[in-house]
Chains A and B, each alone.
Chain A
Amino acid sequence: MTYLPYCIAAWLFVVGLYGIVTSRHFVHLIICLSVVQSSTYLLLLSIGFRSLPAQAPIFSDVPPGSPAVDPIVHALTLTDIVVGATVTALLLALTLNIKRKRGSVDPAVLSPFPE
């Protein structure tokens, strides 16, 4: 049991958030959002990880019952990646349209209701 993956996941989350907060470009911002999301992949995978001799949960060539990583979290991660891809694609499409309409991709000058 090592804490390293959890620490990295937390660091990715925080650093991604920092990127979003300080971003001056929508594409940069969207990539930062993906960075935040990748922390969730890492977290899920490290939760499913057992001690080192564990391998992929395919029991065709190893006897059933030998240690294997948890397949459920892999399924969850896959779903998560699909969600991430959808969101990223949608946001990039929005960015394209924003660029076309307003000629700028800086979130600082593009608030919907400047007050």
Chain B
Amino acid sequence: MPVGLPLLVAATLVAAAPICRRHVADLTAILAALAVTVTCIWLMRCSTEHTIVYWFSHWPPRGPQAIGISFVIDPLGAGLAAFCGCLVTVALVYAWGYFDAVRTYFHALMLIFLAAMAGFCLTGDLFNLFVFFELMSVVAYALTGYKVEEKQALAGAMNFAVTNSIGGFSVLIGIALLYGRTGALNMAQVGQSLSAHPADGLVVVALTLLVAGFFVKAAVVPFHFWLSDAHAVAPTPVCVLFSGVMIELGLYGVFRVYWTLFRSVPGLDGHRLQLVFIVLGALTAVLGAVMCFSQRHIKRLLAFSSISHVGMMVLGLGCLTSRGIAGTALYLLGHGCVKGALFLCAGLLLHRLGSVDQVELFGRARKFVILGCAFTVSGLGLAGFPPYGTYLGKQMIEEAGAAVGQHWLTWVLLFASVLTGGAVLRAGGMVFLGLGSTPRHDTGSPTSIQEEPETRKGRRYIPVVMLSAAVLLSLAPLISALSPDALTRAIEKGAERFANQPAYQRAVMKGEVAPPARFEATARPTAKGVLFGFVAAAGAVAVALLSLYAERLPAPGRRACSTLFRPVLQGLRRVHSGHIGDLIVWLVMGVVAIGVGCVVAASVLP
């Protein structure tokens, strides 16, 4: 139902395109997205007691063989699907006043995107996972290149499409290998038969390919190059979805597959695999933060901050404990809302002033008080300012890291939040307040590009609908402040279910209704977490001010900084060439690196 409905509405909209009024299409699409959200929330509530398994055409497993195709609904998957629905709804509301040239195709594509994401979250079948993954990807390519009259959008969509297709093939090959080994596609059954033997070469290769393929979608270093290109050029409502949920769904894919298939394979349950994920996550978080800080094109800046935050989520999930999963899930909610709000604000700037370059926009947005407030508040939220949900998630990730003996995760998280939050606040300070010294207009600057405004008329004012969508998203994470205890408890219960492979298998294969988990959720906000949130936010403000007023610093200090950091930044810039060939070389190297990591982790080599 949450998958079929949007597909049906999308098909109807395309069929009715010639006779359909614009606002009718808007309204239908929004209602459909809302319906999906409500259904998913309902599913989430129903599945808190026990995992729901739905067999299509009533083909339950006979004996040890699962022949039918199933949806397996647990609270975390359904919750993620509901969150997708929420963001799609907001994006559609925002698109109401957005493109003038928008046609019903846009709505249809958005709804198909939603259907694919919901299916991806709910499916219990490996091949269906791949099909929804590809459907999501193809629609995303089309949405990225939606503004066909724009040069950069096309090239960005091209990079996106080629890289992600190869990621998709990698996933498919991994699935094919597993099918060859186990003769099954149902995730529970595959997991059962894999756990009978210790990990050998084939299983490790399959794991590598699956992880790498999903990580391409999640934009983990070194697969992240497509993201900055695609996000910077895609239409704003689409960016909200990409950053808010799509890349995180890549992570969901990796860890769903890990927890249902590989968890109990002897050799792959150890701490060494943990280390592979944590190293990747830390690299992503740091590199994303540094690149984010060196941007001046606001959308691109936000794209790099998404990369950094995905790295933080990988850190949480990579601990391979249910506490880590819970922290990441919470962080995902907070980050998705905040990042969505920031993208919407950037889109409004583009709408109103025709640019998203922070240098070009210097001080030109002083009039837009509400927009500026939403932007700044979201920037603080990004850094983890305490009433926001983000700090809770971070605190739980830190606890998970400490529980597995990786205390240094705290510093990586702090570094990434300070730099990304600082970059956003710096942009806000320049654009909305005109803080800092007037920048020189160096036209040949590397990141300056021309982006065509997405709207043709009505640029005199900011439509209320669009502004309210942005404000709503920026305030949504505050809901978590109402009852942080209840929220963390619910999420941790969901995470425990997500990580409980035996219960999953019993529910799917035997139709057994698992007894209510005797599980005590122990996570709650602590003073330390709150303190760290404040420290990160203060650090972000300090970094922003420091870089705004860098010119007033004493000259020797400035020179020392520039000699220290310039070569690094230039090196990084050169690496981000945006040439497809380079992207693929990095991708192959990343797959090889993950493969080596997995081989070492499984100690297949003597």
Contact = CB atoms under 8 A, between A and B. Distances in A.
Contacts of B165: 33, 37, 87
Max chain B CB contacts within 10 Å: which of A39, A87, A112, A114? A112
B176 interface: yes
B585 A21 contact: yes
Contact of A44 (B176, B228, B229, B232): B176
Contacts of B578: 111-115
A94 B165 CA distance: 15
Contacts of B158: 26, 91, 94-95, 98, 107, 110
Contact of B580 (A29, A37, A47, A98): A29
B574 interface: yes
Interface in B152-171: 152, 154-159, 161-162, 165-166, 168-169
Max chain A CB contacts within 10 Å: which of B154, B577, B588? B154
Interface residues of B, number: 51
B151 A20 contact: no
B34 to A, nearest CB: 28
B110 to A, nearest CB: 16
A73 interface: yes
A112 B138 contact: no
Interface string A65-95: 0000000110010011001001100110011
A21 B172 contact: no
B131 interface: yes
Contacts of B154: 94, 97-98, 101
B534 interface: no
Interface in A1-38: 13, 17, 20-23, 26, 29, 33, 36-37
A107 B138 contact: no
B229 A90 contact: no
B155 A23 contact: no
A16 to B, nearest CB: 9
Contact of B151 (A47, A91, A102): A102
A113 B162 contact: no
Contacts of A111: 155, 159, 229, 577-579
B585 A112 contact: no
Contacts of A22: 581
A113 B577 CA distance: 7
Interface stretch (B43-51, B141-149, B250-258): B141-149
Contact of A98 (B142, B155, B168): B155
B148 A97 contact: yes
Given A72-B185, A87-B138, A112 B580 contact: no
B179 A87 contact: no
Contacts of B141: 87, 90-91, 94
A115 B173 contact: no
Given A21-B585, A94-B157, A113-B228, A108 B579 contact: yes
Contacts of A44: 172, 176
A11 to B, nearest CB: 14
A77 to B, nearest CB: 10
B138 A115 contact: no
B270 interface: no
Contacts of A107: 158, 579-581
Contacts of B159: 111-112
B272 to A, nearest CB: 27
A83 B134 contact: yes
A81 to B, nearest CB: 12
A101 B161 contact: no
Interface string B180-224: 100001000000000000000000000000000000000000000
Contact of A20 (B150, B172, B300, B581): B581
B169 A113 contact: no
B576 interface: yes
Contacts of B21: none
B232 A36 contact: no
A37 B581 contact: no
A101 B150 CA distance: 8
A115 B577 contact: yes
B229 A113 contact: yes
A40 B173 contact: yes
A39 B173 CA distance: 9
Contacts of A86: 138
Max chain A CB contacts within 10 Å: which of B152, B229, B297, B446? B152
A11 B480 CA distance: 52
Given A107-B579, A115-B578, A21 B584 contact: yes
B184 to A, nearest CB: 10
| 6 smallest beta-carbon distances between A and B, as pairs | A111-B578, A112-B155, A47-B180, A112-B156, A21-B581, A112-B152
Interface of B: 127, 131, 134, 138, 141-142, 145, 148-152, 154-159, 161-162, 165-166, 168-169, 172-173, 176-177, 179-180, 185, 228-229, 232-233, 297, 300, 446-447, 449, 573-574, 576-581, 584-585, 588
6 contacts: A13-B173, A20-B584, A23-B581, A87-B141, A101-B150, A114-B446
Given A72-B185, A97-B145, 19 more contacts: A20-B584, A21-B585, A23-B581, A33-B165, A37-B165, A37-B169, A47-B180, A87-B141, A94-B158, A98-B151, A110-B158, A111-B155, A111-B577, A111-B578, A112-B156, A112-B578, A114-B578, A115-B446, A115-B573
